[in-house]
Chains A and B, each alone.
Chain A
Amino acid sequence: MSKETPQVGLFVTCLVDLFRPTVGFAAVKLLEDAGCNVEVPPTQTCCGQPAFNAGDRLSTVDIAKSVVTAFESFEYVVAPSGSCAGMLKKHYPTLFEDEPVWAARAEKLAAKCFELVSFLSDVLKVETVSASHDGSVTYHDSCAGLRELDVHDQPRQLLASVTGLDVIEHDTANVCCGFGGTFCVKYPEISTRMVSDKTAAIVATGATTVLAGDMGCLLNIAGRMSREGHDVSVRHVAEVLADMSDRPAIGAPADRRS
């Protein structure tokens, strides 16, 4: 392998793996187009956030150890998700206060973990993508990506290079959509209220598509859009950047291509 070829371990994320492999393949395409060699460690399952946020530190530590082991030999670890990348980058190091060897390994891993779009922009210095998408989109800033990893300008910069695409902002782009992992099923009325505020703001922009960088948000928003009967497509930003928006949108029927 040439020294200039970044060696990337793809952290697929459990939701992409289960619900929308297209996003994983879009991530691979974007990384390979940018000159990376991409491997997918086969033992990965989940970053452990569900356990972490439920207060189950022991399970989180176990899962974190297997993630560290599976990924630490790569030059970079990239995830199409701000919350999963944030988990690896910001929270894993805090799990090993009384295990200094693991703490060091987690720190080393954290230093090379990135959310996908910010990796393309900030590390690989990608400024444009070859993609086209006819129509207007609005962008939802997933909380963890925004506040833990400073993902904000990068997706907008790359979207600006997509032919035919217009970005229309909604005022509450940085307000939580109400997913929050198990929050959405433990406190469903609050969650439904929050996601309804989000869909109302999205619909008010007139955009035909909403994009975000996290599957949790996207499933939540798509589910509410569908229940409310709106005709707004929901996609992961990677799909549009990788020129894969010909597939059915999230929650859309199999024959729909818009």
Chain B
Amino acid sequence: MEPKSLQFHDNVAAALKDAPLQQSLSRFQTGFTVKRAEAKALLPEFEALRDESVAIKNHALANLDHYLLKFEEAVVASGGVVHWCADGAAARETVLRIFREDDVKSATKSKSMISEEIGLNEFLEDNGIEPIETDLGEYIIQLAGETPSHVIAPAVHKTREEVSDLFYEHHQKYGVTKRHEDVPELVDEARQLLRRRFQAADAGITGANFLIAETGSVVVVTNEGNADLTEVLPRTHVVLATIEKVVPTIADASTILRVLARTATGQEYSTYTTFATGPRRADDVDGPAKFHVILLDGGRSELLGSEFKDILRCIKCGACMNHCPVYGSIGGHAYGWVYPGPLGAVLNPGLIGIDEARHLPGASTFCGRCESVCPMRIPLPDLMRRWRERAKEQRLAGWRERRGLAAWSFIARRPGLYRPMSRVAARMLRGWSRGRGRLASFPGASGWTNGRDMPAPEGGTFMAQWAANRDASRPASGGRP
């Protein structure tokens, strides 16, 4: 996917003016946050499960080579094939090769953020293969020609009216004559159409929430069951997963699953939590004839060896963006690449570079809400700050900002300078306010004053007044204990 993160300021301006988006955002924000809080309150061991999940992921990441090899062994033993791909290009070519060998003309897909990362849909279309998104949100944005704006609710930025319009426009060729407005009616319309596509598809592509080393199983969670139909109906199932998805055992996956849905949507479990192991066996009633897992590195092993490795614990629950006031103001597309919100602020620079993605860790107040809800206790603000250090090393900020910071640091380290300068600044700002208590504008401050007044200082600094009081009341400054 082509990054647009550098145009962050433009993206933000557009997002803030986008009325349907703002309408969607205000609705969505209170939903997920409230639901998570309720789910957490109902489960006494919620915090303990978070700690266990962190331990499981840290252990897996520290022994990733071992568990990936174990996973491959188990997949092969169950009749599947594992493909190791260093980057997106290799992954795309591998999918194409698998599809060509099997004469695949169309493939259903359940939601896969990795397929967004590697631009799989466009690539398949360019090669004459039709990808059919089956997650309702992904289906909607596929019709709209857009990318997902959230990791679990890809079309959360769309209003019901927009979806009605899209369906009416695109479904007429399937014989739909009425524009539906009701959510159940819209869902049913999509369901009927997708059912035909599910049955006709030659292959199914899914992502993976977990890859289980002990059994070679792939876990996919959905609320619609579209992953099940994608995995089971076509003759070939291709799993797209990055390497950090592997966990040692089924028990490990189960532990993490107990916090995943609760954190994401407030459900105890996603409606369909499916473990798929290899192709169809002789006595299975259904299942694909071929089972392929594409293990993509895609920059993960480099992150693993870096100070950003904690982000690899991420299970893509979306809680961080649900609770982020910045995401809640601008939506997911403004971030300009695959992953939005605090997740994107930490992961995108690691995958597309801090130069391109510099505004993402920059546009944070470090309020810490994301970290407080992350089931994997990823220290998101700390990691964003580390990206800011990298940005500073590469001198990515404009010269005004760099000079300003350097000047401030110089003065702040010298109380002999700082004292008189702060006294002057306090007096000046006070004077300019002319007794009104605030300034509507003053030189160099438009970033602040475009949207706010600047309260005027009281006039004398605290340090000056304190020193004056002490001189007045004591002959010499009292000794320190």
Q: Which residue numbers of A lie inside 8 Å of B, CB to CB?
A: 1, 7, 12, 14, 16-22, 24-25, 37, 39-40, 42-46, 48, 50-57, 59, 62-63, 66, 73-75, 143-144, 147-148, 174-176, 178-181, 183-195, 197, 219-220, 222-224, 226-227, 234, 248, 250-256
21 contacts between A and B (CB under 8 A): A12-B462, A14-B412, A45-B411, A56-B405, A56-B409, A66-B413, A147-B371, A179-B365, A180-B365, A185-B445, A187-B359, A192-B451, A194-B326, A194-B365, A223-B453, A223-B454, A224-B453, A227-B452, A227-B453, A234-B455, A252-B438
**Proximity string of chain B (444-457) to chain A, C-beta cutoff 8 Å, 1 when within and 0 when not:** 01011011111111
Give complex CA distance A186, B402 in Å. 13
Q: Known: A24-B466, A194-B329. Contact between A188 and B450, CB under 8 A?
A: yes
- Set of chain A residues within 8 Å of B389, measured between Cβ atoms: 55-57
With a cutoff of 8 Å between Cβ atoms, the chain B residues found around residue A16 in the complex are: 462
The reply to whether A22 and B366 contact each other, CB–CB distance below 8 Å, is no
Chain B CB within 10 A, most for which of A21, A181, A222:
A21
How far is it, in angstroms, between the C-alpha of A19 and the C-alpha of B16 when the chains are bound?
Answer: 31
A-B CB proximity, top 7 nearest: A180-B365, A223-B452, A185-B447, A192-B451, A251-B455, A55-B388, A21-B462
**Which residues of the other chain, B, contact A255 by a CB distance below 8 angstroms?**
435
Contacts of B411 in A (CB 8 A): 45
CB distance from B419 to the nearest CB of A (A): 8
Chain A: CB-nearest residue to B372: A147
Q: Judging by beta carbons under 8 Å apart, are B413 and A59 in contact?
A: yes
Q: Contact check: which of A12, A20, A63 meets B457 at CB < 8 Å?
A: A20
Q: Closest B residue to A41 by CB, please name it.
A: B480
Assess whether B422 is in contact with A54, with CB atoms less than 8 Å apart.
Answer: no
State the Cβ distance, A178 to closest chain B Cβ, in Å. Answer: 7
Q: A63-B413, A66-B413 are in contact. List 13 more A-B contacts (CB 8 A).
A: A51-B405, A55-B390, A59-B413, A73-B481, A143-B368, A180-B367, A185-B445, A186-B401, A189-B16, A190-B330, A193-B329, A194-B329, A220-B452
By a CB distance below 8 angstroms, the chain B residues around A21 are 458, 460-462, 465
Bound: A256/B10 CA distance, A? 41
A42 touches B463 (CB 8 A): yes
Contact A226-B438, Cβ < 8 Å, known A143-B368, A185-B447, A191-B451:
yes
- A45-B418 contact, Cβ under 8 Å, with A18-B461, A143-B368: yes
Q: How far is the CB of B11 from chain A (nearest CB, A)?
A: 11
* Contact in complex: A184, B364 (CB < 8 Å): no
Cross-chain contact of A17 among B326, B438, B462, B478 (Cβ < 8 A): B462
Give the most central of A19, A22, A75: most B CB within 10 Å.
A19
Of chain B, the residue at the smallest CB distance from A143 is: B367
Contact A226 B452 (CB under 8 A): yes
Q: Are B12 and A62 in contact (CB under 8 A)?
A: no
Q: Would you call B452 and A195 a contact (CB within 8 A)?
A: yes
B367 surroundings in chain A (CB, below 8 A): 143, 147, 175-176, 180
In the complex with contacts A51-B405, A55-B389, A147-B369, A187-B412 CB distance below 8 A: no
* B447 and A178 contact, CB distance less than 8 A: no
A55, A179, A220: the one within 8 Å of B392 (CB): A55
By the criterion CB–CB under 8 Å, are B388 and A224 in contact?
A: no
Nearest residue (CB) in B for A37 is B481
Q: Determine whether B467 belongs to the interface, using a CB cutoff of 8 Å to chain A.
A: yes
Which residues of B, 337-366, contact A by the 8 Å Cβ criterion? 359, 362-366
Closest to B447 in A: A185
Name the one of A14, A185, A219 contacting B455, with C-beta atoms under 8 angstroms: A219
User: Which of B437, B450, B461, B480 has a CB less than 8 Å from the CB of A256?
Assistant: B437
Q: Which residues of B contact A62 (CB under 8 A)?
A: 409, 413
